[in-house]
Amino acid sequence: MSLEGKTPLSTYAPNTWCPGCGNFGLLSAVKQVLLHLKEDNKLHQVVLVSGIGCHAKIVDYLAVNSFYSIHGRVLPVAWGIKMANPSLIVIGHAGDGDAYGEGISHLIFAAKRNTDLTFLVHNNRVYGLTTGQFTPTSPKKFKGRSTPFGSPEEPLNPIEIMLASKATFVARSYVGRPKHLAYIIKEAIKHPGFAFIDVLQPCYTFFNTYNFYNQYVREIPPSHPRENLEAALELARRWDYGEKAQEIPIGIFYQIKRPTFEEEALIKKHPSFDLKAYVAQNHS
């Protein structure tokens, strides 16, 4: 028996996403990027880390190294992997419940410390696997199974949060634009530092937003000054993850260079340690 499935990079695990699920688009974009890494003989260096939810099944569907972790905790696991072996290419996958609910502290800190990872949020703005509750990015008044009379809360704007948290690469893409998505993922992997991508990804069963996104998504023009925080914030505020939109910008909002956590914080030397001599010197 082998792990490999019928198509390149796939496994024998049967795919259990709903027909029409936005995760399919994301899977194919990720595959495309991984195939490039395979051509560059780097596939064995890739580690995918996932949380829990529909998004997380992606690691079962790809024959690459992976750590299927727990809900909300993708980033600390990914960080630990990267710190322990900085030569690995670590790609985190999380749902919006994972990234913006259960684990939001980790998200803010990953951005703050600029750990060298790529982080893809499969943002469908609804809990899918737990069958349809509101998430931190659901629009206000969203009627889910836990809020049958409408969510009382304003949605978070994760792009703004990431900009405020000093992330060095902040992007948004949409599974309905597969080429764009693959391009953004590639750029994110290339970026030395914390690369954040909010991927708009409709849940066909519980929150079908295909038409909405198709209508309002606009690619950020090349003239946008990527290293300008004010310009990035202005773009980010054009859509508040509410029910209505005039325009939903997708692309790279912000990108700057800053030393990574791994460069700054890890020890540089691994000298041989003589316990007996050390203890005699320091503990008598």
Partner 1 sequence: MDKKGLSLSTPLKMQKKFEINILFGGQAGDGIRQLGTLWAKLLAKRGLYVFLYDDYPSLIRGGHNFSIVRAANYPVETHKDQVDLIVALDLETINRHHHHLSEKGFILSEGKTSQGFSLPWSKTVKEAGVPRIMKNTVALGSLAKFCGISFEELSQVVKKLPQAEKNLEMAQKGYNLIPQTISLPSLPEEKRFLFYGNEAIALGAVAAGLKFYIAYPMTPASSILHYLAARRETFGVNVIHPENEIAAVLAALGSAYTGSPAMVGTSGGGFALMVEALSLSAQAEIPITFVECQRPGPSTGVPTYTMQGDLEFVLHAGHGEFPRVVLAPGDAFQAFYLTALALSLAWRYQIPTFILSDKHLSESLFCQNLPEKIPQISYKKWHKKDEYQRYSFEEDGISPLAFPGDKRAVVKATSYEHDPFGITTEEAEMIARMQAKRLKKENLLLQETEKLLETKGPERVPALVCWGSSKGAVQEVCKALGLRFIQPLVLRPFPKRALEKALAPASKVIVCETNATGQLAKLLKYHDLEVDEVILRYDGRPFTTDSLKKKVEPLI
Residues that bind partner 1 (CB under 8 A): 2-3, 11-13, 44-47, 49, 52, 57, 59-60, 63-70, 73, 75-85, 87-88, 105-106, 108-109, 265-271, 273, 275-276, 278-280, 283-284
Beta-bridge partner residues of 49: 67, 92
Q: Is the dihedral of CA 128, 130, 133, 136 positive or negative?
A: negative
What is the DSSP code string of 247-268? -EEEEEEEE-----HHHHHS-S
Beta carbon of residue 152, minimum distance to partner 1 (angstroms, whole number) = 27
Nearer to partner 1, 61 or 213 (CB): 61
Nearest to 210 by CA among 103, 114, 111, 125: 125
Nearer to partner 1, 41 or 223 (CB): 41
Beta carbon of residue 52, minimum distance to partner 1 (angstroms, whole number) = 7
Nearer to partner 1, 90 or 185 (CB): 90
Nearer to partner 1, 244 or 269 (CB): 269
Beta-bridge partner residues of 122: 95, 199
Nearest to 184 by CA among 152, 148, 131, 220: 220
CB atoms inside a 10 Å sphere around CB 153: 14
Nearer to partner 1, 80 or 178 (CB): 80
Beta carbon of residue 171, minimum distance to partner 1 (angstroms, whole number) = 23
For residue 271, give the amino acid letter: P
Beta carbon of residue 222, minimum distance to partner 1 (angstroms, whole number) = 36
Beta carbon of residue 239, minimum distance to partner 1 (angstroms, whole number) = 29
